[in-house]
A and B are shown apart, each in its own frame.
Chain A
Amino acid sequence: MTAETIIELSGVEKRFGTLTAVRDLDLELVKGEFFSLLGPSGCGKTTALRMIAGFQEPSSGTIRIDGEDVSTVPANRRPTNMVFQSYAIFPHLDVGDNVGFGLHRSGLSRKERRARVSEALELVELGGYERRRANQLSGGQQQRVALARALVMRPKVLLLDEPLSALDKNLREAMQLELRRLQQSIGITFVMVTHDQYEAMTMSDRIGVMFNGQLEQVDTPQTLYASPGTRSVANFIGGMNFLPARLHNEGGGTLDMEIAGFGAMAVGRNPNVADHGRNALVGIRPEQLEIAAHRPEGYDSTVQCRVADIAFYGESIHYFVEVDGVPETMTVAVPNYFHSVDFTRGATAWLGVQAASVIDLGRNRDNETQQGEKT
């Protein structure tokens, strides 16, 4: 299958007075994919989405949808529809009128409109809810109505602004899978904005991570997790132990490094990292560390540590450990196999790690000025 571009943003910027909300955004989205814009609040992801929707005009740059330049086309004439964070269910209309709202100007007959509405409601499993009042709906139902109301327009792209943030945890997790299933069955491109890394990872084909108005990395969830391009991305997605290192030799696919606390290792080169230097930074995911009472066998590096603190999460146990030569406390996540917490606070233990689990994060900017990272 050849990937066909549906949305293309090039050089898009949005400035509000002196504040730049989105800077130099280049992004190509493929027909039929589930794409998420992920980032902390205020990172510009919602502004980016609202520019795609047509609620805000870019200060510069162009937005193309299906090949057509829509940069100055207002929202009501764009082939996109939006599911709002508050759902924005019209309180004065019933469910059927809410879903049929946008068909008003479609030129369809009443009968056809009614058929489209009930079809859309079936799709979100709310068949027969036409005459329900908006205030009789639960949060999850309102979410489905908002979805049906947008999908009934048969948009080329469906935009979702934090669609699950108003739901409680269990419902949110169920809706994640359901939204994903729905997207796959209808094949429309979904663009979702979220600040929840797990939501983005479980639902998306690809994720764009934004910080301070800047798109830092676009990749599949697996790649983002395994090969984050920057320290901020590594830190935002999943937990990460950061370790300073010395880069001795840059040869081909591997980098020879001297890692604080763990000693010499040959670390695989991370293709997403822009720039390397003698002062290097590496990361190790907490679940990639083995913790044992005795020196574990078969690891590329082992080191002794002290257990400083313990956190019990139910499905896993986190040990916060101190290692000589490592400036920050490290986190080790162990699955709760046998309902036992094996180490007590203050105990001495051993850590083991494979070179393949060590993530190359490029030049260590900690000792340099912070300005470089901001721009």
Chain B
Amino acid sequence: MKRLRRLLPGLGTYAALYLAFLYLPVLLLPLFSFSEGTIVAFPIKGFTLDWYAQLGEADTLLHSLANSVIVGGSTAVLSTVLGLFAARAYVRHRFFGREISEGIVMLPLVIPGIIVASSMLVLFLFLGLRPSLPAVILGHTFLTVPFAVSILKSAFDEFDPALEEAAYDLGETTIGVFRRVTMPIIGPGIVSSLLVTFTVSFDEFVLAFFLSGNRPTLPVYIWSQIRFPAKLPNTLALGSLLLAFSVLLLLTAEYFRRRAATGQGARKESRDDR
């Protein structure tokens, strides 16, 4: 046991260093986004908010932001709906082909992005769908279904099937059971899935690069800016905003996911219902 205790601080220190390795590169973007200098190098020169202010004037940026919001929102809704049905099937039902179906749904996680992107481009063009926002939405829905399914599966795992039966037994209709029991209880899981799939879509680059055509999403816009050193400070500012936004969405998603797990979702709504 003594040797074990001597190991403890070692592993703890390693964990701390590892976290630093994970976070430091990411934190550099916001750090230098306030610098007056136009190159990223030590020492940091001055403090300014100009780079952020200039973002508001970049029209293409605002357009690409709007494109990303449209794509992210549609993707989130589509993949969450698909995920909702599938997760319910996997948790509640034992049916022939369930494992195969679960495997298929997880495939997008393990196909290299370049292959997904190039093959979808080929297929969509063959079907007459030019690179466009709908093409990106279809692609992103494909990519985000696994995330929606996993999140909603854990929401259903925590959800005692007897609750729906009890409601039904007490005279509710199928729709009534969904509205008064299912929705309030897995609601947080749904919100969490919407937020996570939105974030994944919002940050995705390769598919959007291939499929967005002349309406770039935000990451595609950033890609085009990275090549110009003169734009670097603005790119840093934009990147920092994007990072902050993603983290905010994810923390919110995590909050809802945990609410789903403890089964305390949407108490207020059902009270108003009476």
Contacts and interface: CB of A to CB of B under 8 A. Distances in A.
Do any beta carbons of A and B sit within 8 angstroms of each other in the complex? yes
Interface of A: 53-55, 74-77, 80-82, 84-88, 90-93, 97, 101-102, 104-106, 110, 135, 146, 149-150, 153
Given A91-B185, A101-B170, A84 B165 contact: yes
Given A90-B181, A97-B270, A135-B264, A55 B173 contact: no
Contact of B166 (A82, A105, A106, A110): A82
Nearest to B172: A76
A146 B170 CA distance: 11
Given A76-B168, A101-B180, A104-B172, 14 more contacts: A55-B165, A76-B169, A82-B166, A90-B185, A92-B185, A97-B271, A101-B167, A101-B172, A105-B171, A105-B176, A110-B274, A135-B264, A146-B166, A153-B170
A300 B165 CA distance: 57
Contacts of A75: 165, 168-169
Query: Which among A76, A82, A150 has the highest number of chain B CB atoms within 10 Å?
Result: A76
Nearest to B163: A88
A81 B263 CA distance: 24
Nearest to B164: A88
B171 A102 contact: yes
A102 B267 CA distance: 18
Given A92-B267, A105-B171, A84 B185 contact: no
Interface in B134-171: 160, 162-163, 165-171
Given A76-B169, A102-B171, A90 B163 contact: yes
8 contacts: A55-B169, A84-B166, A88-B162, A88-B166, A91-B185, A92-B185, A93-B270, A135-B263
Contacts of A93: 267, 270
Contacts of A74: 168
B131 interface: no
The 7 A-B pairs with the shortest beta carbon distances in the complex, nearest first, are A102-B170, A91-B263, A88-B162, A88-B166, A84-B162, A92-B184, A82-B169
B162 A76 contact: no
A208 B263 CA distance: 37
A106 B152 CA distance: 33
A326 to B, nearest CB: 47
Contacts of A110: 274
A200 to B, nearest CB: 22
Contacts of A54: 169
Contact of A76 (B171, B265, B266, B271): B171
B175 to A, nearest CB: 11
Interface string B178-196: 0011001100000000000
A23 to B, nearest CB: 22
Interface of B: 160, 162-163, 165-173, 176, 180-181, 184-185, 262-267, 270-271, 274
Task: State the majority secondary structure of interface residues on B.
Answer: helix
Query: Which among B166, B265, B267 has the highest number of chain A CB atoms within 10 Å?
Result: B166
Contacts of A101: 166-167, 170, 172, 180
Nearest to A152: B170
Given A55-B165, A84-B162, A97-B271, A91 B170 contact: no
Query: Which among B167, B170, B176, B184 has the highest number of chain A CB atoms within 10 Å?
Result: B170
Nearest to A16: B94
B266 to A, nearest CB: 6
Nearest to A50: B165
Contacts of A146: 166
A105 B162 contact: no
Nearest to A77: B171
Contacts of B163: 88, 90-91
Contacts of A104: 171-172, 176, 180
A65 to B, nearest CB: 14
A298 to B, nearest CB: 56
Given A88-B162, A90-B163, A81 B170 contact: yes
B182 to A, nearest CB: 11
A142 to B, nearest CB: 12
A107 to B, nearest CB: 11
B162 A86 contact: yes
B263 A92 contact: yes
A196 B162 CA distance: 22
A74 to B, nearest CB: 8
Contacts of A106: 171
B97 to A, nearest CB: 15
A86 B161 CA distance: 10
Contacts of B267: 92-93
A92 B264 contact: yes
Given A105-B172, A149-B170, A153-B170, A92 B165 contact: no
B112 to A, nearest CB: 41
Contacts of A87: 162
A149 B166 CA distance: 10
Given A84-B166, A88-B160, A88-B163, A97 B171 contact: no
A147 to B, nearest CB: 12
A246 B176 CA distance: 64
A92 B265 contact: yes
A93 B167 CA distance: 12
A149 B165 CA distance: 13
A55 B166 CA distance: 10
A146 B169 CA distance: 12
A37 B162 CA distance: 20
Given A92-B184, A135-B264, A153 B166 contact: no
A77 B169 CA distance: 8
Query: Which among A55, A77, A88, A102 has the highest number of chain B CB atoms within 10 Å?
Result: A88
B29 to A, nearest CB: 41
A91 B162 contact: no
A153 B162 contact: no
B197 to A, nearest CB: 24
